[in-house]
Structure 1
Amino acid sequence: MQPPLELTKFLFALGFIQSMYDYSMFILQHGDTYTIVVAYADDLLVAGTHLSQIQHLKYKLHAEFTIKDLGPLKYFLDIEVTRDSSGILLNQRNQFLCAPRVPHFLVAQHVLKYVNNTLHHDWGSCMDSSKSLTSYCIFLGTSLISWKTKKQKSCF
């Protein structure tokens, strides 16, 4: 989904660049500091390396568009965000499993096909150990956000 043109122009005027991989993401870099804005419909997610830059951006956004700051991120695009001392946990809770119907089955089937297409099994190709490698990728839209490759235990 393309963000509103007014927001795009506003962020460009502040020096943000639009990600070529996800048009709803804008990045501002000053040296080793970053500020990132993700736009979806009328929601904005603002993150960065320095709180003062985030607060300054929110001030400018409010002056231009009259925004409401909802505080620390708790939900975004049906993803629940929780924080503790070990880090950040992202969790997507779905309620449709309480009374599933055909559309829910079709969505689940689509997700399984997607997961199956992101898994890669490489049977016995590790030249050193002849063990199998299994890998997977996790995408948010078209952006790769995580991946893992694991050498499997041998059956011998």
Structure 2
Amino acid sequence: KLKLTLTQFDFQASKCDPSLFWYKHQAHTIFIMVYVDDIIITSSFSSLIQQITNQLESIFSLKKLGSLDYFLSIEVKYLPDKSLVLT
């Protein structure tokens, strides 16, 4: 049901990874990564994240966990220049 919903929201599924979806809005892109029952949403435009989160919450029960620190045994570190280090 999630894949259908995302495609109805004009998200494209990645050709390389079927669990990765992306949507281009003007100069911004939003990415959604799905793993079992976990979803990571990221974009350089925070209001776009909020918009898609609100749309998904109207259909699904979501639990927001805040900033990503670990995912699939990968640690995420946020640097002052707004880049990420994955270890």
TM-score normalized by the length of structure 2 = 0.91
Q: Find the aligned partners of 1:12 and 1:60 in 2 and give their Cα distance.
A: 13
Partner-residue secondary structure (3-state), 1:35: strand
What percent identity do the matched residue pairs reach? 31
- The alpha-carbon deviation at position 84 of structure 1 amounts to 2.7
Q: What count of residue pairs does the alignment treat as equivalent?
A: 86
Residues 47-90 of structure 1: CA deviation (Å, up to 9, x unaligned)? 11200000111111122111001001111111111113153221
Greater percentage in helix: 1
Partner-residue secondary structure (3-state), 1:67: coil
Gaps of 5+ in 1: 1-5, 92-156
Partner-residue secondary structure (3-state), 1:65: coil
1:36 aligns with 2:31: yes
Gaps of 5+ in 2: none
* Bigger-Rg structure (1/2): 1
Partner-residue secondary structure (3-state), 1:81: strand
The aligned counterpart of 1:65 is 60
Of 72, 78, 84 in structure 1, the residue corresponding to residue 79 of structure 2 is 84
State whether residues 80 and 90 of structure 1, in contact with CA within 8 Å, keep that contact through their aligned partners in structure 2: yes
- RMSD of aligned C-alpha atoms? 1.1
1:15 aligns with 2:10: yes
Q: Which has the higher contact order (CA 8 A, sep 6+)?
A: 2
